[in-house]
Every structure is written in C-alpha cells, then in structure tokens.
Structure 1
Amino acid sequence: MKKTNAMRELDKANIKYDIVEYDVDENYLGAISVASKTGADITKVFKTLALTNDKDELFIACIPGSDELNLKKVASIVHSKKVEMLELNKLKEKTGYIRGGCSPIGIKKRHLSLIHESCLQKDFIFISAGQRGLQIKINPYDLIDFLNMKVDNLIIE
C-alpha cells in the first residue's frame, strides 16, 4: 500500500496508528458507508468537513459520521459571523484532497481544526487516511495534540 500524506506526517511525528482498508462505492462516499464496510461503530467514524468563513479562511471540523455539523456553533468558536461548507469544486485546490478522501492530517497548510467532544470518550477513532478506501485508526488524544485541535460540541443536538 502506498503511503498517503496523512500517514507520512504521522510516521514523521512517531504517532501510532493503524490502517483499515475498505471497498469504495463511488455512489456512497459518506461515513455511514465507511462504517458499514469496515464494521466500525459509526460513533467512532469521524468525517472531515472543510468550511470557510466570510474572509475566505479555511477551517476543518471532524464530527461523528451520523451527526450533522452546527454551523452557527462553529462560527462562534472560530469568531466569524458566518461559516459554510467549502464548495466541492474548491476542495482539492484548498486541501489537496477529494470528496470521500479528505483527512484533517496532511492538508496543504495547517488551518484551525475542530473535533467533536465525543471523541474524548473513545479509546480510538477512525479518520480518513487521505484516500478513498483507507481509514486511519488513531487515539483521539494523539490526533488532537498533533493538530492542536479545538475540542467542543460541534453538532446539532
């Protein structure tokens, strides 16, 4: 298996992780499909969402796969009037990743990254390895420390 940027960054930082491979269905690229194909608990499969504010600043948010991001809450956390999902046609340009393979690790340049607080109750979580069909299984504290992530309640209750 060829190493992704995310894996190389973790290797360079000596952070322990495992790789989980799964078959990709181009019609179903979401976290629920990943959980189904890997047999993972959906509350441990975190999707990576790219957002932008009115100043065109990029933010990354990681939330459990079956939850919905609270954009107003994120805007408050990042001190912006408004945030919205990054347009899909700008994803590769801004992050270096494509839909279904966007990892919070290995993005072209570091951005403020957020993660949902539920990760703190997990011994491990899954995040994209930066390529469709690959997930990184990692200790959430290692991920938070590595990316200097802000931990908060980011989902719609």
Structure 2
Amino acid sequence: MKKTNAMRLLDAAKIPYEVRTYDWEENDLSGTHAADAVGMAREAVFKTLVARGDKTGFVVFCIPVAEELDLKKAARVSGNKAVEMLHVKELLPTTGYVRGGCSPIGMKKKFPTYIDETAMLFDAIAVSGGMRGVQLIVSPDALLAFVDGTYAELTV
C-alpha cells in the first residue's frame, strides 16, 4: 500500500503508528463501519469533523465515531459563539481530504484541533489515515502533541 501524507508526516516526526485497512462502499462511509471493519471498539475510533467558527474560522474536532458533536460545546471550547459544520463540497479544497478520508494529520493548513477527552481513556485510538479505507492506530497523547491539539468535552 502506498503511504499517505499523514503516514509520511508521522514517520518524519518519529511517531509510531499501525495501519489498518478495510473495504468501504460509497454508500457506507460511516465511522462505525470503519471501527467494525478494523476490529476496534467504536469508542476508540475517532472521526474527524471540520467546522467553521464565527470568530476563529476553521476548527477541527475528533470525536468517537458513534457520537455526535455538540455544537455548543464545540463553540465554547474553540472560542466561538457558534460553529457550523463545513459543507462536504468545501472539505477537499479546505483540508485536502475527502469525506470518509479526512485525517487530523496533514491538512492543507494547521487548524485549531480539539480531540474528545475520552481519547485519554485509551492507550491507542484510530483516526483516518488520509484516504478512505485506511485507519491509523496511534497514541492519543502523541496525536494531540503532533496536531498541537487540546482535549475537550465535545459530544452530546
């Protein structure tokens, strides 16, 4: 398998990770499908969501795949009065990633990133590897440090 940009960046930073691949279908890009397919608890597999804050601009949130982002909490922790999810057609030009393959690692620009505090409960979590069907298993603390992120309570 060809290395993704996210993998190259982790390699360069000497951050250990494991790659797990799975088959995906256009009609099922859900994170729960990804979690089940790579054999990890849904609580330990994190989806990457991109939003626009009314004060800060683009903001990235990583939350467990079966959970829902609480927009009020997301706004509060990111220093905004309100945040709205980025429309899917804006995802690729903004981040360099497509829906179902959006990784918090290696976006076109460095955006403020918040990882749900439940990540701290695990020795390793999975995030998208930067393309559909690829998950990277990584230490949550290493990921947090790499993206210069913040742990926060983010879900409903």
- Counterparts of 2:56 and 2:88 in 1: how far apart (Å)? 14
Letter of the aligned partner of 1:145 in structure 2? A
Q: CA deviation at 1:37?
A: 1.3
2:56–2:80 Cα contact (<8 Å) kept: no
- Counterparts of 2:22 and 2:61 in 1: how far apart (Å)? 23
- Counterparts of 2:76 and 2:121 in 1: how far apart (Å)? 24
- Counterparts of 1:56 and 1:74 in 2: how far apart (Å)? 12
Aligned length: 156
1:133 matched residue in structure 2: 133
Q: CA deviation at 1:54?
A: 2.4
Q: Which runs of 5+ in 2 are unaligned?
A: none
Please, what TM-score do these two structures have when normalized by structure 1? 0.97
Percent identity over the alignment is 44
Secondary structure in structure 1 of the residue aligned to 2:155: coil
| Aligned-residue CA RMSD (Å) | 0.9
2:19–2:134 Cα contact (<8 Å) kept: yes
Secondary structure in structure 2 of the residue aligned to 1:127: strand
- Counterparts of 2:3 and 2:46 in 1: how far apart (Å)? 20
Q: CA deviation at 1:80?
A: 1.1
1:107 matched residue in structure 2: 107
Moved over 2 A (4+): none
Letter of the aligned partner of 1:9 in structure 2? L
Please, what TM-score do these two structures have when normalized by structure 2? 0.97
Task: Spell out, residue by residue over 1:52-75, the C-alpha distance to the aligned partner (whole angstroms, 9 max, x if none).
Answer: 022571110000111110100111
